[in-house]
C-alpha cells in the first residue's frame, strides 16, 4: 500500500466466543479512523475459522481461509475456543497456531502498558515482550510436520523443545531494534541454569546479536526471577526477549499487572506479513452479552497499522493508528470502562465513546 488512493485489504476473522463482538468493535473504530485522516475505506475480507468454519466447511481452519489470507495486506483475528470443538477437530493445530505456522509468523510482540483510569498492580509498567513464536518448548510449533509432543506408552508422555540459531538471531534482532526506539534496554529471559544446552543457546546467541547494537543495554534473568521481578518492580523493564512458552506466560502476567488481560494487545508477524490478535481468549461465558472488553483487539489494530505504516512509509496510516490509540486511552482516562475493569459500559457503549473521540484529536 502506498500513500496514493490504494485501498488496504484486510482479512477479518471473527472467531469464537466474544470474537464477533470485539472484531466488529475494532472494525468500526478502524473505519472511522481511516475516514478522519482521509484514507480510502478499508476493503474488508471476511473469513472463517472455528465453529463457523466447522459448520460451513467441516474444518476449523479451512484451506479456503488460509489461501485467501495469502493475498491480503494483513489480518485481524478474533479469539478461538478450540477446547469446545468436536473431538475430531481438536487433534490438529488450533486456528491461531495453524495460521502462525502456515505463514511463518515467527515474532510475537506483546506490550504491557498501564493506562490512566485503569487500576493497575504495577502502575509504572510500560514494557514490550518479544516472544519467539515458531519453536522453543511449544510442541505444536517446533516440527516441520506433526507435533513435538508424543506418548510412547499410556504411562509416559514426552515433549521436544527445539532451539535454532536462525530463530534466536531473528527474534533477538527485532528485540534490539524495538529497544532502540524505546528506552534502549533488553532483558534476555531464559532458564539456562537447568537447561544449559537449549536455554543456554538462547541466552548466548542473544548476547552475540547484542554486540551489533552497542548503544543498547542488555542483561539476562532466569524466568522465575523475572516473574518475581515483574510483580515487584515491573517498571524496571523496557524490552524482554524470550522463548515461546515463557513469553506466553510472562506476557499474561504482565497484562494482568498492568490492569487487565482484556487490555493486552498482540501482533504476530514475519518479515512480510502481520496479524493483529488479542492476547486473551474467547470468554465463552460472556459471549453474546455485549459485555466483552474490545480494548485489547483495538490496540492490536494500532500495532498492526503502525507496522504497515513503517513498512510502506505511509504517514496517513500512522496518523490513523495514533488517533485510535489516543481515542482508546482517552476513553479509559475519562472513566468509561467495561465490567472487567470495574466499569458499567457495554462493548458497544465503550466503542461508541472511542469513535466519538476519534474526531476530537
As annotated, the active-site residues are 138, 191, 224, 248, 252
- Asked whether 32 and 24 are in contact (CB, 8 A), the reply is no
SS3 23: helix
The CA angle 344-347-353, to the nearest 5 degrees, is 80
Alpha helices of the chain — where are they, by DSSP H?
19-37, 50-57, 63-69, 95-102, 165-180, 198-210, 223-233, 244-257, 295-312, 315-333, 347-357
State the Rg of the chain over Cα: 20
- Site of grid cell 489470507: 69
> Cell numbers of 150, please?
508424543
Contacts by residues 314-322 (CB-CB < 8 Å, ≥ 24 positions apart): 314/1, 314/2, 314/3, 315/3, 316/3, 316/37, 316/38, 316/39, 317/1, 317/8, 317/39, 319/37, 320/30, 320/33, 320/34, 320/36, 320/37, 320/39, 321/33
Cell of 47: 473469513
Q: What's the CA gap between 258 and 218, in Å, rounded?
A: 23
Q: By the 8 A CB rule, do 203 and 193 touch?
A: no
211 within 8 A of 158, measured Cβ to Cβ? no
State the SS3 of 110-155.
EEEECCCCCCCCCCCCEEEEEEECCCECCCCCCCCCCCCEEEEECC
φ/ψ (deg, to 5) at 237: -90, 145
Amino acid at each position: 500500500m502506498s500513500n496514493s488512493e490504494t485501498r488496504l485489504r484486510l482479512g477479518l476473522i471473527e472467531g469464537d466466543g466474544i470474537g464477533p463482538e470485539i472484531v466488529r468493535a475494532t472494525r468500526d473504530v478502524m473505519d472511522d479512523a481511516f475516514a478522519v485522516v482521509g484514507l480510502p475505506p478499508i476493503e474488508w475480507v471476511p473469513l472463517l475459522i472455528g465453529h463457523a468454519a466447522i459448520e460451513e466447511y467441516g474444518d476449523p481452519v479451512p484451506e479456503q481461509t488460509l489461501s485467501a489470507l495469502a493475498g491480503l495486506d494483513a489480518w485481524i483475528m478474533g479469539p478461538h475456543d478450540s477446547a469446545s470443538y468436536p473431538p475430531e477437530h481438536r487433534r490438529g493445530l488450533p486456528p491461531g497456531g495453524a495460521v502462525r505456522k502456515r505463514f511463518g509468523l515467527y515474532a510475537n510482540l506483546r506490550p504491557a502498558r498501564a493506562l490512566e483510569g485503569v487500576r493497575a498492580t504495577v502502575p509504572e509498567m510500560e514494557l514490550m515482550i518479544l516472544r519467539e513464536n515458531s519453536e522453543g518448548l511449544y510442541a505444536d510449533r517446533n516440527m516441520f510436520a506433526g507435533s513435538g509432543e508424543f506418548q510412547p506408552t499410556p504411562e509416559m508422555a514426552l515433549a521436544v523443545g527445539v532451539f535454532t540459531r536462525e530463530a534466536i538471531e531473528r527474534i533477538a534482532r527485532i528485540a534490539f531494534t524495538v529497544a532502540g526506539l524505546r528506552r534502549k534496554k533488553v532483558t534476555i529471559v531464559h532458564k539456562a541454569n537447568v537447561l544449559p544446552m537449549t536455554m543456554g543457546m538462547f541466552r548466548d546467541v542473544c548476547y552475540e546479536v547484542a554486540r551489533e547494537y552497542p548503544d543498547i543495554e542488555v542483561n539476562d534473568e532466569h524466568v522465575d526471577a523475572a516473574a518475581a521481578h515483574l510483580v515487584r518492580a515491573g517498571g524496571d523493564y523496557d524490552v524482554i526477549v524470550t522463548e515461546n512458552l515463557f513469553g506466553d506466560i510472562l506476557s499474561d502476567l504482565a497484562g494482568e499487572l498492568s490492569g487487565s488481560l482484556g487490555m493486552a494487545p498482540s501482533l504476530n508477524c514475519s518479515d512480510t506479513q502481520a496479524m493483529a490478535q488479542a492476547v486473551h481468549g474467547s470468554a465463552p461465558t460472556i459471549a453474546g452479552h455485549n459485555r466483552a472488553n474490545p480494548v485489547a483487539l483495538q490496540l492490536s489494530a494500532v500495532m498492526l497499522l503502525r507496522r504497515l505504516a513503517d513498512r510502506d512509509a505511509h504517514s496517513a496510516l500512522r496518523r490513523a493508528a495514533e488517533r485510535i490509540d489516543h481515542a482508546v486511552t482517552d476513553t479509559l482516562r475519562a472513566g468509561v470502562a467495561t465490567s472487567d475493569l470495574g466499569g458499567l459500559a457495554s462493548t458497544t457503549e465503550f466503542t461508541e465513546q472511542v469513535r466519538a473521540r476519534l474526531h476530537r484529536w
